[in-house]
Structure 1
Amino acid sequence: MIPVPLRRAGLVVTAALAALLALATPAAAHGADAPDGTDYRVTLTGLSPAPAGLTVRVVEAGARLELTNRTGRDVEVLGYSGEPYLRVGPGGVYENSRSPATYLNQTLAGDTSLSSEADPAATPVWYRLDPGRSVRWHDQRTRWLESSPPPQVSADPGREQRIRDWVVPLRVGTETVEVRGTLDWVPPPDAYPWWVAATLGFLAIGAAGLAPAGTTAGTRALRGVGALLALGGAAAVVFTVGRELDAGSAGIGGVLVGLVGGQIWALLTGFGAIAAGGYALTRREAADFALALAGACLAIFGGFANVAVLSRSVVPVAWPPTTARILVTLVLATGAGAVAAGVLRLHAAARTAPRPAQPVPTPR
């Protein structure tokens, strides 16, 4: 019969593998197809002219523009041939099915095939998307779409430099409004120090699992790992909220709706780590298993799913990039460390568990 601690360790490994397989599915956790990080900075410099009640901003690390219209009039976003593409006004948000931009902007890469219906010269056919007054869309005019960097960046990748100025035209009544901005190359950071910090943290926390269970040192080690795992869970929650704020959610209600609708698993992972850490602090039975399982989920969904933050200069969070890297490093170290500590303690418990007595044969 397999000892209970060993079975629990096997469950931890199985859960971790299942989580890795889950990461192979479309990344609904981050909402739409926002990048996990990029080295191209999209900046909006202003509207020319700037009608009262009309606002535009960059969201999702530059992946989309967001327009909010409170002018009381219809505002049209013009497509790549100057045709009406989007319309936002008192009646809601509409999209022109005849505009090629409707299809090209469906993905971040802009590689969607055009419908036979697409014709920029045709009379617009409007379809209502939303009753609100805000719309977000990918716009190829604001981003660098090629897989290789521009020639000037290839010649000097270590220097921040302007790639181009961009303009997205709008129509407000009979007036043309230009959304203006810039696209810059920002050299990526060195990810090595962050990986070193995460590895050292993992080793230090994992080593706590070597403290003998049932002793004062073992109890302190268990509580220490629990406290650090809870800290890592809190870091994951903060990072997840930062992603939702960068995605354009406004107000507490908007953030909550976005978190529940698009990032629920990342949020649950963080809160699960906090709960498991608190469980370990109370020295409850099966705390080792809870630490290992919650740590595996935290490291995978909160840490490895966001490692691009360590090597990209522009990251999809509302906090400064350095803050984001500290949060991800903390998540990686505490999550992986809790897995190691929990598995070591489970293995030690399995080795010291009393074996069932063997029946003594009755002499004949």
Structure 2
Amino acid sequence: MDRAARLSAVLLAGLTVLLGGLPPGVAQAHIGGQPIPDAAYYRAELHAVAPPRPDIQVRVDPGGEWIELMNNGPDEVIVLGYTREPYLRITATSVQENELSQTTYLNRSLFADSVPTGQAGGTLAPAWKTISTKGTKRWHDHRIHWMGQARPPVVAADPRHPHPVGDWTVHATVGGQPLVITGDLRWLGKPDAADGNPVVPPWLLWLIEGTLVVVLLLVVLLIHQRRRSPAAPEQPTEHASRVTV
């Protein structure tokens, strides 16, 4: 590799390091201009399954993405939806979803404007559809994560420090008897630097990147020009011009 090619490689590596090593706030602002999502600063925690059943296991994703129920017992579990309508039916060998449950459709979206509460349970008979032949179901549930697009008032007032956001409850039945799954949602606290405040001014970032790109293009043009130029004829050396008599 000649000197120009080596210089091009060094400049390209420098540009990569610059773009990859910037603080997250700068990178986000430059790439999409979008704020860093708050999802990573909430924590969902499971408190209890009451009454406890050794043949039923429940797990919750700390980020609030999903709740999972595994049924290893002889009784069927009916998970109730937001209006206490039958939403899921889980046995040791199958999972069925009620196609007439509004929860079925609301839970297919990560966010919704609101979760229906205080309404009577579904009056229509469930239309069960088998969606799995295993006794485990993991689903997204709006009850275990923050629903609003804006932060909770306590968090908006002081986002830097941890705060309890609220408790959540998912109701179910096992063999016709009530089963209650409870937990809470907490705000972990978000540093000022994580809110997308740039450490490096955007105009300086763009100036540095633009300069590196221009220099890199000039080096590439120089390499291309050198390769197209005819090589100079080789001159005989003094040693080669001597003739032995």
Aligned pairs for 1:84-163 (under 5 A) are 84-110=86-112, 120-163=122-165
Q: Is the 8 A contact 2:161 2:190 kept in 1?
A: no
| Aligned counterpart, 1:50 | 52
CA distance in 1, matches of 2:218, 2:55: 63
Aligned pairs for 1:218-297 (under 5 A) are none
CA distance in 2, matches of 1:58, 1:194: 32
Q: Secondary structure at the match of 1:127?
A: strand
| Aligned counterpart, 1:328 | none
| Aligned counterpart, 2:233 | none
CA distance in 2, matches of 1:149, 1:357: 64
1:75 CA displacement: 1.1
Aligned pairs for 1:50-89 (under 5 A) are 50-59=52-61, 61-89=63-91
1:182 CA displacement: 0.5
Question: How many positions carry a matched residue from both structures?
Answer: 185
Cα offsets for 1:149-168 (capped at 9, x unmatched): 22233333333121211111
In structure 2, stretches of 5+ residues that fail to align are 13-30, 201-208, 231-245
CA distance in 2, matches of 1:181, 1:172: 19
Q: Is the 8 A contact 2:78 2:173 kept in 1?
A: yes
In structure 1, stretches of 5+ residues that fail to align are 10-22, 25-34, 198-335, 359-364
1:352 to 214, 218, 223: 223
Tell me the percent identity: 34
1:50 CA displacement: 1.4
| Aligned counterpart, 1:37 | 39
| Aligned counterpart, 2:181 | 179
Q: Is the 8 A contact 2:97 2:129 kept in 1?
A: yes
CA distance in 1, matches of 2:60, 2:218: 50
Cα offsets for 1:172-228 (capped at 9, x unmatched): 10221111100112221343699869xxxxxxxxxxxxxxxxxxxxxxxxxxxxxxx
- Superposed CA RMSD in Å reads 3.9
Judging changes above 3 Å, is the alpha-carbon distance between structure 1 residues 72 and 346 closer, same or farther for their aligned structure 2 residues? farther
CA distance in 2, matches of 1:108, 1:81: 18
Structure 1 segments of 4 or more deviating over 4 A?
Answer: 192-197, 343-347
Cα offsets for 1:260-316 (capped at 9, x unmatched): xxxxxxxxxxxxxxxxxxxxxxxxxxxxxxxxxxxxxxxxxxxxxxxxxxxxxxxxx
CA distance in 1, matches of 2:65, 2:40: 10
1:109 CA displacement: 0.7
Q: Is the 8 A contact 2:43 2:62 kept in 1?
A: no
Judging changes above 3 Å, is the alpha-carbon distance between structure 1 residues 37 and 150 closer, same or farther for their aligned structure 2 residues? closer
Q: Is the 8 A contact 2:89 2:97 kept in 1?
A: yes
Identify, as 1 or 2, the structure richer in helix. Answer: 1
Amino acid at match of 1:189: P
| Aligned counterpart, 1:166 | 168
Q: Secondary structure at the match of 2:144?
A: coil
TM-score (normalizing by structure 2)? 0.62
| Aligned counterpart, 2:20 | none
Q: Is the 8 A contact 1:100 1:120 kept in 2?
A: no
| Aligned counterpart, 2:242 | none
